[in-house]
Amino acid sequence: MNTTLLGYDFDIDTDYVQNPDSEIRRQLDEYAAGDRESFDLDIEYPDAFDGDVMRAMAEIPYGETRTYGDLADELDTAAVAVGQGCGRNPVGILVPCHRVVGADGGLHGYSASGGVEAKRALLEHEGAL
């Protein structure tokens, strides 16, 4: 599914979401309008490391950020590995990889079209910047 949010295009692989596209779009619209801070969708996480990273990202509250190092400590791995897992997130926004930042607070990449500027827009929307 392709969606435009806050002026940026995002691809969401709905193979990982066990809800109809109409429900996903409804919740994304509510998020964009500022009426939703979390998604109530059935996400199917991969079994391997990427699934562990996704679960950790899903725990980051709206309006907050964590560093790659924070998640690495939680998962007993390296920050670079967490960054790679974030980059492979197939359901960006729904699982908020945009809430993961560098140790210096920097926005060091984002895999959605629009890159770091899209990440910045999402974090500003949530009041995290």
- 86 as an active site residue: the answer is no
Please answer whether residues 48 and 75 qualify as being in contact, where contact means their C-beta atoms are separated by less than 8 angstroms: no
Closest to 76 measured CA to CA, from 98, 107, 53: 53
> Which one of the listed residues 54, 57, 60, 97 is annotated catalytic?
97
Structure-derived torsion over alpha carbons of residues 76, 42, 14, 122, reported in degrees to the nearest 10 = -70
Residue 75 host element (H or E) = helix 68-75
Residue type, 61: P
d(CA 78, CA 23): 36
What is the token pair recorded at 61? 């509250």
- Residues serving a catalytic function are 97
